[in-house]
Amino acid sequence: MLAFECSLQRFTALLTDRDGAERATLERGPDAWRGEEIVALLDRLCRGCGLAWTDLEALALAVGPGSFTGIRSAVAVARGLALAASLPVYAVGTLEALASVGAKAANGAPVAALLPGKRGQFYLQCFAADGTALAPPAALPAAALPARLPREALVVTPDPAKLRDLSGRWEIRAALPDARAVAAIAHGRRQTGERGLAGPHIEPLYLRAADANPRAGRPLVAPTG
């Protein structure tokens, strides 16, 4: 399985055996990742293990919420590779991957995955100790967070400094979603018999309208001439 994650601008990728054992990893720093760059990095990872796209059995990726550019590019790459190599795809929520990273420190408590968004919003999803989602992901203003957080939850976020108002009531730890968490979740689903999605059925999870959203009926670029 080839798993990758770039929904928060950092890029990570992981190649695993059928049983989930890691074969190779790759990580790059923050950037506005484009599709062709992602394909080149994934190709390098596979070739380093002597594999072609057609040698893979499945893809897994984080589909958001997070960076619009990263999510859009990752989904486009997954769709293209899935169609070209006839691969099933496991779409993992970025908040689920983030919670999976933080669960190791939760000691059996629920985990609340929080991502800072734009315009004062936060993306939140809470999970039980076994990884079961307690509610769907949601985009919320900061003032709404206390009412949505389980009192005993461990809060994991890439930027604890933006959650100072919660620090006296909840334990907050810094964490980032990564391809290792995405792969682990995907392998778990596969073991339960889930077959993954076909390329055209992979959808990004934005939770809010895109910033570059044209007004109804108007193009982003006006025609010339």
pLDDT digits over 177-215, tens only?
Answer: 999 999 999 999 999 999 999 999 999 999 975 554 444
Q: What is the pLDDT of residues 26-82, one digit of tens each?
A: 999 888 788 999 999 999 999 999 999 999 999 999 999 999 999 999 999 999 999
CATH code that applies to domain 95-174: 3.30.420.40
Per residue in 147-157, pLDDT tens?
999 999 999 99
Q: Which residues contact 36 (CB under 8 A, 6 or more apart)?
A: none
Query: pLDDT at position 31, please?
Result: 80
**At the topology level of CATH, where does 2-94+177-201 sit?**
Nucleotidyltransferase; domain 5 (3.30.420)
Residue 218 buriedness (CB in 10 A; 0-12 / 13-18 / 19+): exposed
Give the DSSP letter string of 177-223: --HHHHHHHHHHHHHTT---B-GGG-----SS--SS-PPTT--SS--
Which residue's entry shows tokens 């990884």? 131
Domain layout of the chain by residue ranges? 2-94+177-201, 95-174
pTM of the model: 0.90
pLDDT in tens, 107-144: 899 999 999 998 889 999 999 999 999 999 999 999 99
Residues in the chain: 225
- How far apart CA 2 and CA 207 sit, in angstroms, is 26
Q: Can 2-94+177-201 and 95-174 be said to share one CATH topology?
A: yes
Three-state SS at 43? helix
